[in-house]
Amino acid sequence: MLLAPQPTSAHPLRLVVCFLLLCGAGVLASPIITAGCPDRCVCDDQFVVQCAGQHLTTFPVNLPLATRQLIISNNRISELPPLALNYLSDLVYLDCSNNTLTEISESTFGNLRKLAYLDLSFNTLHRIEDRTFGPLASLVMLRMTDNPGLSDIHPDAFLENEALQVLDVSRNNLTALNITSLIALPTLRSVGLSGNPWSCQCDNEDLCLWVHLETFKFQDEGQTVCGSPADMQGRRLSEVGIQLRTLCHQSLDSLDYLFFVVIGFVIFAAGTVSAWLMGVVMVLYERYIKKKDDQLELENEEEGIEMDNASRGRTDRGNRSLKTSHTV
């Protein structure tokens, strides 16, 4: 066989040959694929590769391409190489717990569309970026507990994991979690949040309210407590939810009140000033009108007699024309 005894296993040509064999031979290819098994691992005919507790420091090489379950827990593996992982497109179950993984890149899980179970617990992860779990469309259960330095999970980290049912991020170093994308997941039924130093301030109000409203969803809800501020330490998130809601929105309301008081004063002052101005204008106008009237009266008295004569003449003429129109 081509695949069996060659020691230079990382040669790219070998991967190509392997790939061609897989595509060409179809079902017949299965025994060939399982024929390769990484050092210190046990591979069975159900495509399960078991490498737990083997003091591995690197990701195993020479993995069967049809691997469905890969267990590499309890080792000292510090990196998941994207290239090697993404050949395993049939992978359904991946247990990486209890290693020394510090980061996971965007491309690590790029091709694992069938992956349903992922365990990253007991590692040394620090943050989760937005695209890390994006390609995992079939992911049902994600365990990511006991990473003592994990303090930051991007708001959109679970945005595309539509199949997610169980999420466990217990015993990390999380203070806040943006739940916008989590509450939109249609089948999410269990969330583990306990053992984190949660912030019970307005920045985390939504999470606290969520725990309060849907207590049934949360594992170890009794251990899901505030780490800060000092006066809230040790209180359950489910207890402080309503309190935070009132507290955080009250402070907004008192600002609103201040705004209304200031606006009210401005309107009052503007009203007073404009009333005073109107008063002044009215007085001036009245005086002006009175002056004009006095002038007119004087002029009228002078022209009075003249106008009397003229109007009498006009009415006589009008009466005469009326009479003639009637007789026609």
Q: Is the Cβ–Cβ distance between 129 and 150 less than 8 Å? A: no
- 155 contributes a contact to ligand NAG by CB under 6 A: yes
Listed ranges 23-31, 148-156, 226-234, 308-316: which one lies at the site for ligand NAG (CB under 6 A)? 148-156
Distance separating alpha carbons of residues 275 and 278, to the nearest angstrom: 5
Residue 53 interacts with ligand NAG (CB under 6 A): yes or no:
yes
Q: Which is nearer to ligand NAG, 54 or 111 (CB)?
A: 54
* Interaction of residue 224 with ligand NAG, rule CB under 6 A: no
Least distance in Å: CB of 202 to ligand NAG? Answer: 9
What is the DSSP track for 93-117? EEE--SS------TTTTTT-TT--E
Minimal CA–CA distance to 103: which of 130, 126, 75? 126
Measured CA angle at 66 (ends 62, 70), to 5 deg: 70
Contact 157, 130 (CB under 8 A): yes
Q: Is 228 in the site for ligand NAG (CB under 6 A)?
A: no
Binder to ligand NAG among 81, 148, 271, 279 (CB under 6 A)?
A: 148
229 binds ligand NAG (CB under 6 A): no
Pick from 31, 149, 264, 271 the residue near ligand NAG by CB under 6 A.
149
Instruction: Check: CB of residue 201 under 8 Å from CB of residue 228.
Output: yes
Out of 122, 158, 210, 218, the residue judged to bind ligand NAG by CB under 6 A = 122
Stretch that binds ligand NAG, among 100-108, 170-178, 234-242, 300-308 (CB under 6 A): 170-178
178 binds ligand NAG (CB under 6 A): yes
Q: What binding mask, one character per residue, do residues 203-222 give for ligand NAG by CB under 6 A, x or -? A: ---x----------------
- The phi and psi torsions of 303 (rounded to 5 degrees) equal -95, 0
Beta strand 117-119 pairing with 93-95: parallel
**86 vs 181, beta carbon nearer ligand NAG:** 181
**Burial bucket for residue 214 (CB in 10 Å: 0-12, 13-18, 19+):** middle
Euclidean distance between CA atoms 100 and 80, whole angstroms: 10
How far, CA to CA in Å, does 323 sit from each of 310, 315, 318? 21, 13, 9
- 78 near ligand NAG, judged by CB under 6 A: no
Interface residues with ligand NAG (CB under 6 A)? 53, 74, 98, 122, 148-149, 151, 155-156, 173, 175, 178, 180, 206
